[in-house]
Amino acid sequence: MTPSSNKSPQEPRVFTPAEHTEAVSFADISLARDEWGHLVLTLPALSHATVVTPTPLFPISEPERWISLRGEDGIELACVEDPNSLSPADRNLLQDELARREFVPVIERIVRVSGQMEPSEWTVDTDRGTTSFVLESEDDVRRIGESQIVIVDAHGTRYHIPDLNAIDAKSRRIIEWYV
């Protein structure tokens, strides 16, 4: 993905895959919903509107930027550097679709862990209520930066602790044992 050399750095851009040599202006793209409610993308390089799935490339460190738009085959068709540069209608469609697809509960407290051997069952309080999940391996608890933690359960659901220092001491001790 290479931005066009004749574009100013401040101009909003959509990066397209390597076979397309230039970045595309946001004025050249369009997002809409089809009759089945799918998000569709229209680009000058595409012969028709294509169903796309938006995927944040950096969901923890930059959740509001760098959104990959992938076709049904999983191939990236475009990458939106800054969704705030889209038209309000396109931005709302993109944010609505991301909200539908991204489910990352924030852990507020660890209530119980079944044991120190994996797999272990965890019961946690999240911003969406109390839940239980199975942790298959200690490798599924990852530190992101200084104090952020991401936990991936046996089903692939991600749980986030934005600031390890902001949770209670018991929960912090449990997490520190894993990281």
| CA separation, residue 20 to residues 14, 76, 80, 82, 123 (Å) | 11, 12, 15, 19, 48
The two structure tokens encoding residue 83: 């969704």
In the 8-state DSSP scheme, what is residue 105? P
In this structure, what is the dihedral angle of CA atoms 122, 124, 130, 136, given to the nearest 10 degrees?
-30
Mean pLDDT of the chain: 82
pTM of the entire structure?
0.57
Could you give the CA distance from residue 39 to residue 36 in angstroms, rounded to a whole number? 9
Residue of 28, 29, 17, 123 lying closest to 70 (CA atoms): 17
pLDDT per residue over 22-74, tens digit each? 455 555 778 999 888 889 998 776 667 889 989 888 877 787 889 989 888 88
Position 121 pLDDT exceeds 60: yes
- State the pLDDT confidence band at 127, using cuts at 50, 70 and 90: very high
What confidence score (pLDDT) does residue 16 get?
54
